[in-house]
Amino acid sequence: MKFRIFLVLASCITSVVTGLVLSRVGSSPESAKSRTKPLIGLSMDTLKEERWQGDRDLFVARARELGADVLVQSANSDDTRQISDVQALISRRVDVLVIVPHNGGAMAKAVNMAHDAGIPVLAYDRLITDCDLDLYMTFDNVKVGELQAQFLVDRLPKDRKSKIVRIFGAKTDNNALLFKKGQDNVLKPLINSGRIDVVHEDWTQDWKPENAKKIANAAITKAGSDFDAILASNDGTAGGAIQALSEEGVAGRILVTGQDAELSACQRIVNGTQAMTIYKPLTQLAKQAAEAATKLARSKPLFALGKIDNGKNEVPSILLDVVVVTKDNMMDTVIKDGFHTAADVYGDRPPP
Ligand code: GAL
């Protein structure tokens, strides 16, 4: 089975479109033809976090606007369950699969199963590795890590060695590796020069806040609360860490980073216990992914600006930009975008 995706080099958009035709065309004719509306299968890792509920709702709404139906499955962070979710969607003869993998490696099997059934696969936000993936859509995840680390470096004391704790994401999630890579790009020279000392670091199983809290507790046991910052990879892990700091009575004194602009994180930022988050405009990603999935289902050509090596091939990819959010630009970013309301973030406190 073949899908038509054109890889476009940014520079030639204005001049001529040169593309690398990935020499695949159209899903199994009879299923697309027999159905009036395209049917999209959306397999998600989890719906536990606020962010993923937003992705689902925005994606489904846009797909419906485009005349497509969507079947949603959530695997509750279980690989075996996610494979059987995909099998169920394939048996429902979906025209295209959109997958948020719990484990980017484990889901290669799902992509192969889909291709055997003639169904193209779009990896949403997280990469699926070591397979013939058709399209990958996400944010610039290395930049997320760079912005988080640079935010801290700009605010750490300059006149002495700084001590930090690092809380990485889930090892099963390729994004967690990319966030760490971005953070390392900024931190490594400073760690090597001795300006920054990492007193404790660990990976957070399944990105669970309670697991991040345990890592922060372990850091406090090891180093007391005498450190300057916690480089937390997302708002969920930041929330868990800040709970540990609150129990020590030092929340607000230690800089804590985040990602996802969750409502509770934005509230912590305006209240002063979290220093920043990374806002990823989900509306753009979810809408563009619904448009791409609907095109794939209808065998319409698709233009991808970039490519990412997933260990098996150069996957056509679309990377969206991200924004640092602090208490100073909260109104001009997440509130202005309508991602959250001022009332929800500031509560009784008047917005600045
Ligand atoms: C990552 C995602 C982040 C964060 C995390 C936990 O893959 O890019 O936005 O939410 O998962 O679910």
Cα of 348 from ligand 1 centre, angstroms:
30
State residue 34's pLDDT score. Answer: 66
Kindly give the distance from the C-alpha atom of residue 234 to the centroid of ligand 1, in angstroms, as a whole number: 7
Q: Which residue's CA is minimally distant from atom 6 of ligand 1?
A: 207
pLDDT at 23: 42
Kindly report, residue by residue over 133-159, the tens digit of the pLDDT: 999 999 999 999 999 999 999 999 999
> Is 105 strand, coil or helix?
coil
What CA–CA distance (Å, rounded) separates 108 from 130? 6
- Output the residue whose Cα is nearest ligand 1's atom 9: 260
Residue 31's pLDDT is 53
Is 278:329 a contact under the CB 8 Å cutoff?
no
Ligand 1 mean position to 183 CA, how many Å? 16
**Each residue's pLDDT tens digit, 312-324:** 999 999 999 999 9
Beta bridge partners of 5: 302
Q: How far is the CA of 49 from the centre of ligand 1 (A)?
A: 9
Helix, strand, or coil (residue 17): coil
Q: Is the pTM of this model over 0.85?
A: yes
- Residue ranges in the chain modelled with pLDDT below 50: 1-2, 4, 7-29
- 54 three-class SS: helix
